[in-house]
Structure formats: structure tokens, C-alpha cells
């Protein structure tokens, strides 16, 4: 699959590490049936460029390049109050000499605090130009378009980046990741039986599905929902994967069975903590020294742990966990994560 025909900015001058987690695997196995569990590997996309890393960086390499190609001077995007995506988009804007504006959706009423720690601190530090706060359930596309229209009145040109960077152009970032991973597994002599990834706005999950199929990578992908259960999530991922495949000219229909997601680990609501997430964050930090975030990767790892304990994964099965970042938001949940210690 040739990605060279698409404009791209390079924000990560290295391949993200692929590591085995022996201590975590052993600790998890002790809680699984018969004292046996899967062997867990991790791909450290939390170490991608645009400090402090995360999966949105891969998407933004293509999205920002497209914005520049269209002559934009301002990036406009949206997210929740502690949005990793907004923070990374702002970092990309700063690097490119662009302005950046956000539309923040209060999915939990009164949850946005401009003076909060975590990503909100990073918003202020890196100099976001303006933030518009709207109620949960708002039409985010219309809200962002209003920002672009306001910029046009000032003689400026905004470029809308959808929530999570999830569209066909952004999905190219995880086609590139699929190619990187394929070469990396070969170079390191590692065989993986299954990939576990977060499934939210669907760009990462859908891009990987298209990338794996297009590059003939025969490794099943399991998405752990961070905001929806499979009945609502799977169609979004399938639509995203198909959009990416169409953009690439793959001339194929993405098979329904290629999209697998698991629900039940994100409740009670998106971004609202639960005990399984707290256990997952503590366990990985205390066995491998690797932090997870409470909104995405903590709940994704909670799903991996829960499925292993249910016997969904076979003893000795080699799982690859894709760490999609989110470290700054962890600081906004310190009392929650450590209060249960």
C-alpha cells in the first residue's frame, strides 16, 4: 500500500518501541483460571512525537499536512474537557506556526474547568487561541463550522479536524502504523496472536483494520470500547475502515467480521472512573512502571484484564496492547487513582 501520494508531516523520527511485559503478564496470570494467562506485549505509541505522545500524532501527520495544503492558518477541533486529541492538535499547530481553537463538549455537566490540571493546563501552557464550551449532545460539526465562519469574517482560514482526528485522512496514520508494526515484528522475530486496541471515535481501530487487510497482516484485532458497546461501536469502526480503504483505492468491501469490539468496561459513562480502570492503571504502573490514562488506556487495559480472567484469551496467547497515550489527563485524576490504593 503506497502512502507516498498523500501529503504528510513527520512528527516522530523513530519507530515506537515494542516491549514484552513479563512482570505484568505474571501478575495477571496469577488472577486467571488455573494461574495461567496470556503473554502481554505493548507498542508504545504513548511515546510518539508531539509531547507527550499518543495515537493522535499519527493521524495529525496526515491531517495537518492536508490543512497546510489547503492554506489554513488555524486548526479547529473538538473534544471532551480533558481531551488528549485537543492537546496534541494544539502541539501540532504550535510546531507549524498555526493558531488553534477548540470546541469543548461537556459530556458530563459542569465538568470543564479552565484552570484544571492535566490537559487543561497544557492548553493554557501552549497557548490555545480560544475555547468554546458547549453542552453534551451538541452538534459538534456545526459548532466547529461556526468557528471557521467566525475566522473567515476576520479574513482567516480555519481547517476542521474532527473529534479524535477520525476520518479517512486521519485513518491513514494507522495504516502507516500497520506497516511499521509489520516490519517491526519481522525485525524483532516476534509473533503476535492478537492485537488489543481502544475503540472510541474509531479512527485508530478503523485505520488498523484497513491497514491490516491491505498489508495482508493476518492478526485479529479486538477493540475495547471506551464510550459505546458493540451494537453502536462496530458500525462506526466499519464505516471508518471502509472510508480509509476507499481513499487508498483498495477496491474491497471491508468484511463485517473484521471488526470486533467489546463493551462493558467504559461504564458508567465516558471519562467517568470505575474500579476496573483504577486496578488496571495501578497494576501496570506497579509491575512495569508504565502509566496509563483514566479515560482511554486505563479502561482498555481493564478490558484486556477482564477478558483474560474470563478465559477469552488462551493461556500463553501472545497479545499486543497498543498504548495510545493520554498521560497528562492522569494528573487530573490523582485522587481517584491513588484514593483506592
Q: What residues make up the domain containing 73?
A: 56-165
pLDDT tens column, 132-164: 999 999 999 999 999 999 999 999 999 999 999
d(CA 283, CA 281) in angstroms, rounded, equals 6
Grid cell, residue 51, equals 509531547
Instruction: Say if residue 247 is in the same domain as residue 122.
Output: no
Total of domains in the chain: 2
Whether 221 and 97 share a structural domain: no
Whether residue 12 lies inside any domain: the answer is no
Q: Domain end: 165, 196, 216, which one?
A: 165
Q: Is 242 within a domain?
A: yes
pLDDT tens digits for 79-136? 999 999 999 999 999 999 999 999 999 988 888 999 999 999 999 999 999 999 999 9
What are 218-266's pLDDT values in tens digits? 999 999 999 999 999 999 999 999 999 999 999 999 999 999 999 999 9
Catalytic residue among 83, 199, 271, 329: 83
Q: What CATH number does the domain containing 326 carry?
A: 3.40.50.1100
Would residue 200 count as lying in a domain? yes
Task: Give per-residue pLDDT as tens, 14-72.
Answer: 999 999 999 999 999 999 999 999 999 999 999 999 988 999 999 999 999 999 999 99
Q: For residues 340 and 280, what is the distance between their CA atoms, to the nearest angstrom?
A: 12
83 is catalytic: yes
**Shared-domain flag, residues 124 and 256:** no
Alpha helices in 191-269 (DSSP H): 203-214, 230-248
- Give the other-Cβ count within 10 Å of 15's Cβ: 14
85: cell is: 486529541
CB 170 within 8 A of CB 6: no
Looking at the structure, do residues 50 and 61 belong to the same domain, yes or no? no
Amino acid at each position: 500500500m503506497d502512502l507516498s501520494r498523500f501529503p504528510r508531516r513527520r512528527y516522530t523520527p523513530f519507530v515506537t518501541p515494542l516491549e514484552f511485559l513479563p512482570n505484568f503478564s505474571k501478575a495477571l496470570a496469577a488472577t486467571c483460571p488455573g494461574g495461567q494467562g496470556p503473554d502481554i506485549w505493548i507498542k508504545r505509541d504513548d511515546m510518539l512525537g508531539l509531547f507527550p505522545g499518543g495515537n493522535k500524532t499519527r493521524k495529525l501527520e496526515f491531517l495537518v499536512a492536508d490543512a497546510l495544503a489547503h492554506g489554513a492558518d488555524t486548526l479547529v477541533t473538538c473534544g471532551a474537557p480533558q481531551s488528549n486529541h485537543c492537546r496534541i492538535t494544539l502541539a501540532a499547530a504550535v510546531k507549524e506556526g498555526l493558531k488553534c481553537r477548540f470546541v469543548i463538549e461537556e459530556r458530563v455537566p459542569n465538568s470543564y474547568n479552565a484552570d484544571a490540571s492535566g490537559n487543561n493546563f497544557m492548553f493554557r501552557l501552549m497557548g490555545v487561541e480560544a475555547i468554546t464550551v458547549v453542552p453534551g449532545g451538541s452538534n459538534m460539526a456545526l459548532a466547529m463550522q461556526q468557528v471557521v465562519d467566525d475566522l473567515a469574517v476576520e479574513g482567516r482560514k480555519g481547517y476542521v479536524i474532527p473529534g479524535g482526528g477520525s476520518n479517512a485522512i486521519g485513518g491513514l496514520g494507522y495504516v502507516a502504523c500497520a506497516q511499521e508494526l509489520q516490519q517491526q515484528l519481522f525485525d524483532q522475530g516476534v509473533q503476535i496472536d492478537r492485537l488489543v486496541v481502544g475503540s472510541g471515535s474509531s479512527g485508530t481501530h478503523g485505520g488498523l483494520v484497513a491497514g491490516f487487510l491491505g498489508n495482508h497482516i493476518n492478526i485479529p484485532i479486538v477493540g475495547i470500547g471506551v464510550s459505546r458497546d458493540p451494537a453502536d461501536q462496530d458500525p462506526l469502526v466499519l464505516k471508518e475502515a471502509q472510508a480509509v480503504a476507499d481513499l487508498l483505492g483498495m477496491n474491497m468491501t471491508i468484511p463485517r467480521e473484521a471488526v470486533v469490539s467489546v463493551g462493558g468496561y467504559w461504564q458508567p459513562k465516558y471519562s467517568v472512573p470505575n474500579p476496573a480502570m483504577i486496578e488496571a492503571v495501578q497494576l501496570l504502573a506497579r509491575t512495569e512502571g508504565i502509566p496509563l490514562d483514566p479515560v482511554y488506556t486505563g479502561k482498555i487495559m481493564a478490558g484486556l484484564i477482564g477478558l483474560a480472567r474470563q478465559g477469552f484469551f488462551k493461556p500463553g496467547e501472545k497479545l499486543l496492547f497498543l498504548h495510545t497515550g493520554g498521560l497528562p489527563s492522569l494528573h487530573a485524576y490523582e485522587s481517584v487513582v491513588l484514593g483506592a490504593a
